[in-house]
Chains A and B, each alone.
Chain A
Amino acid sequence: MELRLLEHPADVGIEINASSLKEAFEAAARGMMSIIVEDLPPDGTKTPTHLIRSIEVDGIDGENLLVNWLSEVLYLYDAEKLITVRADITGFTATSLRAMLHLEQLHPAVHHPRLDVKAVTYHQIVAEVGETSARVRVFFDI
């Protein structure tokens, strides 16, 4: 899996190449969180504030599903101050997914919030599967 930060005149995007769309979606959740907090705990970190929550998301196609998925992860951060440290997608179709989110409560002194992501956009969005790999690209409104 390879994650690259993308430039935009006002905002920030990410592009991920992975072996499957499911893996790319999982990495996109962590990628977005790494924009929001400077010190995102390593994947798999378990602390006393560690929580697991299951969510289900649907969409009309892959791109819509990607936006709705990341919007749910963002919602948990913005409304409940829960940082997604790891996302395990346990069920994945072209228009729906089910996931277990490993969450940690935000502690500003530990995680150092960096930027507020306002929303996940459709600007130049990509969610595509190639012959041997998958690619997602998404920009965030800062």
Chain B
Amino acid sequence: MVSLLKKDEYRYLILRANRQGMRVDGLVYANDKLIRQIEKDLTIEQVINVATLPGIVKYSLAMPDAHQGYGFAIGGVAAMDAEKGVVSAGGVGFDINCGVRLLCAPFTAEQIHPKLEPLLNQLFQDIPSGTGRRGLLNLAKNQLDRVLERGAKWAVEAGYGTGADLSHIEESGCIPGADPMRVSDHAKERGKGQLGTLGSGNHFLEVQVIDEIYDGAVAAVFGLFKGNITVLIHTGSRGLGHQVCTDYLDVMMRAMPQYGIKVVDRQLACVPINSPEGKNYLSAMAAAANFAFANRQMITHWTRQAFERILGNGDLPLVYDVAHNIAKREEYVVNGQKRNLLVHRKGATRAFPPGHPALSPDYQQVGQPVLIPGSMGTYSYVLVGTELAMEETFGSTCHGAGRAKSRTAAKKEITADQLLKDLRQKGILVKGASKSGLAEEGPAAYKDVTEVVDVVHNAGIARKVARLVPIAVMKG
């Protein structure tokens, strides 16, 4: 039995003494209610397992939206020493650079309301979504390689969006070190027809209204004003990223014995960061992440076109784009010493404070926008990064509501037809490719996103800026 030590109202420690092999303590951010939910599945066990990985620094972390994943918990953060630590493909996950981006639209809720249904139909027509759907492009191999090298920069050069978009994307939409040669033919074959597709599962595009502002000064810098419209896009690297993770899990599993590494869960397969296998994975991961940045950039372009066609104005500036499945080389002060670390964020969002050199000049004074999508029909939040996140969580915070129920349990609770009816009564239009998929992603399947966000806000690892309420949802 694992004992959790309540450190304060929002922090629970899992001391190393709980399990032989733990190199660091576990630290879970949660309130009394969320910790009970977190304890219901294997999340705590997975936080402990991650704490056994070679080179882990300070804590194995879990955010308040954490739930059981594969190897790492979803909502997990682990920083490894850049010289002595390991990289784990499972620590990034299958959907490499799954992430969210937020656009603000030059309309109020009242202005958009009469055209909302045609707008949703246009978005659904223009943006391929759902399982089995191919994209509108079929790239030649050398074109795909450019996408993998240049990410959102490729998309902008190809006419999808503007140069101004790039400064509002994590890493300017292009992670350096990407090498298409390290991406298998299988991954490229899966990806080449899927660029510019939303996908299915929990991926979505939502038209929203800003219904609450918590920090007016920061919100104004982000371009967010009460009553205005936003668009939130949630998708990732599609089959290309999934295959990169599959390929390198196999590579790492085969290579582990030569480095004397044993893991307690095979999904945690890992190799030294500076080994040939580790370097190759990070180059392939960067390429897959760039594919995801390009993917969201193209969907942004089509979103703008749909607004232009239906509402006569497609000028939707990009507020920000963040990854929530990624491993990044970052510098932190740990116990008074500067350390180069590889931060694995598996279902967690980067949350850098004001003045961080990685931020665009536009956000230097206020900090990084942190985008937290809620479940279908509930709120989403915009937060801002804090200095405390740099001290405690390697510049990371939560990434969403986090699932609370299985797909089968969610479907037992509500039918797709009833869910659509309920949402329509709340004034939310929904268009989804699969009815069955809709019911599995209903709000009852998720934790309360407001509770999750309140924990990270009150704990100080991000600060609330604005709340967004959906009015039209496009599900894959």
A118-142 to B contact mask, C-beta < 8 Å, 1/0: 1111110100000000000001011
- Which B residues are in CB contact (< 8 Å) with A75? 186, 189-190, 243
> Is the CB–CB distance between A113 and B239 below 8 Å?
no
- Which A residues are in CB contact (< 8 Å) with B436? 38, 114-115
- Which A residues are in CB contact (< 8 Å) with B71? 122-123
- Which B residues are in CB contact (< 8 Å) with A36? 131
> Is the CB–CB distance between A125 and B405 below 8 Å?
no
- The verdict on A5 contacting chain B, using a C-beta distance below 8 Å, is yes
B224-258 to A contact mask, C-beta < 8 Å, 1/0: 00000000000000010011011001100110000
Give the interface residue-count category, chain A.
35 or more
Q: Chain B nearest CB: distance from A24 CB in Å?
A: 19
Q: Chain A nearest CB: distance from B96 CB in Å?
A: 10
> Is the CB–CB distance between A10 and B254 below 8 Å?
no
> Is the CB–CB distance between A115 and B250 below 8 Å?
no
- The verdict on A43 contacting chain B, using a C-beta distance below 8 Å, is no
> Is the CB–CB distance between B406 and A9 below 8 Å?
yes
A61 CA / B43 CA spacing, docked (Å): 27
B68-108 to A contact mask, C-beta < 8 Å, 1/0: 11110010000000000000000001110000000000000
Q: Chain B nearest CB: distance from A120 CB in Å?
A: 7
Residue of B nearest to A81 (CB): B132
> Is the CB–CB distance between A9 and B201 below 8 Å?
no
Given contacts A10-B69, A75-B243, contact A115 B437 (CB under 8 A): yes
- Which A residues are in CB contact (< 8 Å) with B266? 63, 122, 125
> Is the CB–CB distance between B254 and A60 below 8 Å?
yes
Q: List which B252-289 residues lie within 8 A (CB) of chain A.
A: 253-254, 265-267, 269
Residue of B nearest to A8 (CB): B406
Q: List which A97-126 residues lie within 8 A (CB) of chain B.
A: 106, 108, 113-116, 118-123, 125
> Is the CB–CB distance between A11 and B267 below 8 Å?
no
A58 CA / B201 CA spacing, docked (Å): 30
A141 CA / B239 CA spacing, docked (Å): 12
Give the interface residue-count category, chain B.
35 or more
> Is the CB–CB distance between B131 and A113 below 8 Å?
yes
> Is the CB–CB distance between A7 and B406 below 8 Å?
yes
> Is the CB–CB distance between B404 and A9 below 8 Å?
yes
B253 touches which one: A60, A108, A113 (CB < 8 A)?
A60
Given contacts A60-B253, A64-B253, A116-B199, contact A139 B406 (CB under 8 A): no
> Is the CB–CB distance between B403 and A10 below 8 Å?
yes
> Is the CB–CB distance between B132 and A113 below 8 Å?
yes
- The verdict on A20 contacting chain B, using a C-beta distance below 8 Å, is no
> Is the CB–CB distance between A121 and B131 below 8 Å?
no
- Which B residues are in CB contact (< 8 Å) with A125? 266
> Is the CB–CB distance between A122 and B246 below 8 Å?
no
- Which A residues are in CB contact (< 8 Å) with B245? 119
Q: Chain A nearest CB: distance from B409 CB in Å?
A: 7
> Is the CB–CB distance between A123 and B199 below 8 Å?
no
- The verdict on B41 contacting chain A, using a C-beta distance below 8 Å, is yes
Q: Chain B nearest CB: distance from A141 CB in Å?
A: 5
A123 CA / B249 CA spacing, docked (Å): 12
- The verdict on A71 contacting chain B, using a C-beta distance below 8 Å, is yes
- The verdict on B349 contacting chain A, using a C-beta distance below 8 Å, is no
B36-77 to A contact mask, C-beta < 8 Å, 1/0: 000001000000000000000000000000011111001000
> Is the CB–CB distance between A122 and B249 below 8 Å?
yes
A12 touches which one: B70, B243, B404, B407 (CB < 8 A)?
B407
B239 touches which one: A9, A60, A78, A108 (CB < 8 A)?
A78
- The verdict on A96 contacting chain B, using a C-beta distance below 8 Å, is no
> Is the CB–CB distance between B246 and A9 below 8 Å?
no
Residue of A nearest to B74 (CB): A10
> Is the CB–CB distance between B405 and A9 below 8 Å?
yes
A123 CA / B267 CA spacing, docked (Å): 6
> Is the CB–CB distance between A78 and B190 below 8 Å?
yes
B206-235 to A contact mask, C-beta < 8 Å, 1/0: 000000000000000000000000000000
- The verdict on B200 contacting chain A, using a C-beta distance below 8 Å, is yes
A142 CA / B476 CA spacing, docked (Å): 12
- Which B residues are in CB contact (< 8 Å) with A9? 41, 67-68, 403-406
- Which A residues are in CB contact (< 8 Å) with B249? 67, 122
A52-79 to B contact mask, C-beta < 8 Å, 1/0: 0000000010011001100100010011
The 4 closest A-B pairs by CB, nearest first: A113-B132, A122-B266, A113-B131, A79-B189
A–B complex contacts, Cβ < 8 Å, 20 sampled: A7-B408, A9-B67, A9-B403, A10-B68, A10-B407, A11-B407, A38-B436, A75-B189, A75-B190, A106-B132, A113-B130, A113-B131, A115-B200, A115-B201, A115-B436, A115-B437, A119-B242, A122-B265, A141-B93, A141-B95
- With A80-B189, A125-B266 given, name 14 new contacts (CB 8 A): A9-B67, A10-B67, A10-B74, A10-B406, A12-B408, A64-B253, A79-B186, A79-B239, A116-B131, A118-B95, A119-B243, A119-B246, A141-B242, A142-B201
A contact residues vs B (CB 8 Å cutoff): 5, 7-12, 36, 38, 60, 63-64, 67-68, 71, 75, 78-81, 106, 108, 113-116, 118-123, 125, 139, 141-142
